[in-house]
Amino acid sequence: MLGKLIDGKAIAEQINAETVAEIACLKEQYGLTPGLAVVLVGENPGSATYVSMKDKMCSRLGLHSERISFPASTSEGELLAILNDLNFKREIHGILVQSPLPPQISAEDIFASVDPSKDVDGFHPLNIGKLALGDPTGFAPCTPAGVHELLIRSGVKTDGAHVVVLGRSRIVGRPVSLILSQKAPDANATVTVCHSRSRNLAEICRSADILIAAIGVPHFVTADMVRDGAVVIDVGINRVEDKAVDKGYRLVGDVAFDAVAPKASLITPVPGGVGPMTIAMLMHNTVRAAQMRHGVA
């Protein structure tokens, strides 16, 4: 029997509705409009699509947004200068630098240059450190925070559960493992992080109550890697060739959905699972940054 779908679109809409109410309150009581600046370097089609989606969501929810685009030839110094200006811009409360960046620009240097209080993507070393320490005053990266909200709002109990995370990136794998292992409500899980050097990978995955796939390989997780009744969260978004559709490709996850869904108690689809949550949490973080900066959190 097909596992019950976790509807990321519907849950993201719940969060967006809460964000709209918070924005209305800030405008009415304090005359404050939260502002987000999104910086795009280069012409990566996927990045451009994401930035456009973020622009549209800002407009829809009532945030002030600024999109700043640069050619792929932009130097690291030029980008740092713009970020410095944004750090001091009063109407901007959140800054996001879209990844990936061109090879001449160090992502580590760029992430570290953003004011931590405006780092709504949660990649500044200070915010990563706060996440590791369980300090709630920092910002968690949007996709891991979105995964956490999916679990909470789907009624998945993490206390004492064994969570297996496939992938150890600083964008998803590591931070989601930190979130779920914290001594906190809706956390308290035993977390195993797997990666390319992990031995007996299928066996480890089969031991999971909750399996989170964030490895970036299409259909990597097969049915033999999932135990009956597990919760499966697919973070992967991969383009695979499909000449049967006009675009010439389709989006698939890291999980072989058709084979795994019958074994899972709950499972996220791709698209429509984790993806909408990432943007919803970005909007949420931007509003929270505005609240904190003006002392109304």
**Which residues participate in catalysis according to the annotation?**
54, 98, 121
Q: Count Cα neighbours of 50 within 13 Å in the Cβ-side half-sphere.
A: 22
Q: What tokens were used for 256?
A: 């072989």
Cβ atoms of residues 143 and 171 within 8 Å: yes
* Residues facing residue 166 across a β-bridge: 194, 213
